Structure 1
Amino acid sequence: MPRVSDEHLAARRRQILEAARRCFLREGFHNTSMQDVIAEAGLSVGAVYRYFPSKNDLITSIAQSVIGGADDVFAGLARHEPPLPLTEVLERALAFVDSQIGPEGMLPLAIQVWSEAQRDPTLAEFVKDTYTGFRNHFATLARRAVAAGELPSDADPEAVGAALFALVPGYFMQRILTGRPDRHTYLSGVRTLLTHPAP
């Protein structure tokens, strides 16, 4: 029997994940069954269960795909040479968010991941670790901003990083739930806050 190539296995896995993503976006995690995913993928029961023994395995893999792209973007911003001004960092982070908000994007599933993490301890640990990593990228950005003189020398990079990172999910939650504000308006408000701090 010929050996199935790694490329074929990876393509089949992507096929199943894409089918699951469509189902989850359409019906939500709880209203989607493994049979729904199998039908959407157009594969046999055995083919799907070979890659994902349970719906929880599918949800975790979807969560990883939702979050993995963001981690690459935030890590790249934290390593950028020369260091970017913090407003430029936020603008690039929100441009990535905008690319992922639409029907083909991954962020509408992020809200479902957060909800599912409240009841699934394994997923909760994954989400905690991942978002801690995001926050660490922003703390690195704040540390570099202190070194560059953009922030006061006594600024706490951990505190600044946490506040700066919070602006990202704050933006996409508003966009997903209410359709606004647009990126330009949001960034205008952030710049006002950053350049005109309270006395």
Structure 2
Amino acid sequence: MARVSQAHLDARRRQILDGAALCFARNGFHATSMQDVLKEVDLSAGAVYRYFSGKDELIGAIVGEVLGQVREAFEEAARSTPPPPPDRLVASVLGRVLAAKESLTVDGRPAFPGLVVQVWAETIRNEELSTLLREGYGAVRGAWARIVGEYQDAGMMRPDVPPEQVARTMMAAAMGFIAQQALFGPAPAHDLAAGLRALMSMGDDTGAR
């Protein structure tokens, strides 16, 4: 029997993940069955279950992949000295993640933001997914906090605010931007960068509080 190459295995796994993500984005997690996924990817049950045991594992894999992409992008930025300013950094990372998922559409509209919001809601019911999300966001927040430390060391940011607090705030801006896209439609990451840049331009005449 011919040996299946790793490239073939990776491509098959990619096919399953993309098909499942499209099904979830179109109909939601609970209304999507594994049969729907099998139909979408045009594979047998045996071929799909070789990679994933069911819907929960598929959801977890999709979430883990996205969080990994975000974390890697921030960690790459943290290796710059100093890192790009927050407005450019957040927009760059968001733009990269959204571009990687631009082929995921429902009725011609980007489906990824809505899928992200569904994941957030699903964590209320699914403890395993909730744990995965907490760990993933914790890693992203840690990368952000290191970047904030670089800003402060370089004199780019006031030093009296704990990096963890800044990291949470910047993550909130990114998450809110994704939620707005899910609710109100697509918007370029440049809009977020411009808004952050305007907020960053405000002076602080009151000093540290």
Task: Structure 1 unaligned segments of length 5 or more: list them.
Answer: none
Native 8 Å contact 1:16 1:48 kept in 2: yes
Alignment partner, residue 143 of structure 1: 149
Native 8 Å contact 1:100 1:107 kept in 2: no
The Cα shift of 1:87 comes to: 2.7
Q: 2:132 aligns with which of 126, 131, 135?
A: 126
Alignment partner, residue 196 of structure 1: 202
Native 8 Å contact 1:23 1:40 kept in 2: yes
1:184/1:43 CA distance change after superposition, 3 Å: closer
Alignment partner, residue 19 of structure 2: 19
1:49/1:191 CA distance change after superposition, 3 Å: same
1:175/1:167 CA distance change after superposition, 3 Å: same
User: Letter of the aligned partner of 1:62 in structure 2?
Assistant: I
Native 8 Å contact 2:114 2:182 kept in 1: yes
The Cα shift of 1:98 comes to: 4.7
Alignment partner, residue 51 of structure 1: 51
The Cα shift of 1:102 comes to: 4.4
2:81 is the counterpart of 1:81: yes
Alpha-carbon distance in structure 2 between the residues aligned to 1:103 and 1:8: 21
1:178/1:38 CA distance change after superposition, 3 Å: same
Q: Number of paired residues?
A: 199
1:101/1:57 CA distance change after superposition, 3 Å: closer
Q: RMSD in angstroms over aligned alpha carbons?
A: 2.3
User: Letter of the aligned partner of 1:122 in structure 2?
Assistant: E
Task: Structure 2 unaligned segments of length 5 or more: list them.
Answer: 105-109
User: Letter of the aligned partner of 2:15 in structure 1?
Assistant: Q
User: Letter of the aligned partner of 2:181 in structure 1?
Assistant: R
Native 8 Å contact 1:23 1:36 kept in 2: yes
Alpha-carbon distance in structure 1 between the residues aligned to 2:85 and 2:113: 25
Q: Percent identity?
A: 38
2:159 is the counterpart of 1:153: yes
Alignment partner, residue 61 of structure 1: 61
The Cα shift of 1:56 comes to: 1.0
Alpha-carbon distance in structure 2 between the residues aligned to 1:118 and 1:98: 25
Native 8 Å contact 1:175 1:182 kept in 2: no
1:90/1:42 CA distance change after superposition, 3 Å: closer
The two structures have a TM-score, normalised by structure 2, of 0.83
The Cα shift of 1:125 comes to: 0.5
The Cα shift of 1:23 comes to: 1.2
Alignment partner, residue 91 of structure 1: 91
Higher relative contact order (CA 8 A, sep 6+): 2
Q: Deviations over 1:104-134 (max 9, x none)?
A: 2644321121121111111110000001111
Native 8 Å contact 2:91 2:193 kept in 1: yes
Native 8 Å contact 2:82 2:151 kept in 1: no
Aligned to 2:50, what secondary structure does the other structure show? helix
Larger deviation, residues 144-153 vs 84-93 = 84-93
Native 8 Å contact 2:113 2:179 kept in 1: no
The two structures have a TM-score, normalised by structure 1, of 0.87
Q: 1:170 aligns with which of 176, 187, 192?
A: 176
Native 8 Å contact 1:66 1:107 kept in 2: no
1:190/1:2 CA distance change after superposition, 3 Å: closer
Alpha-carbon distance in structure 2 between the residues aligned to 1:83 and 1:193: 19
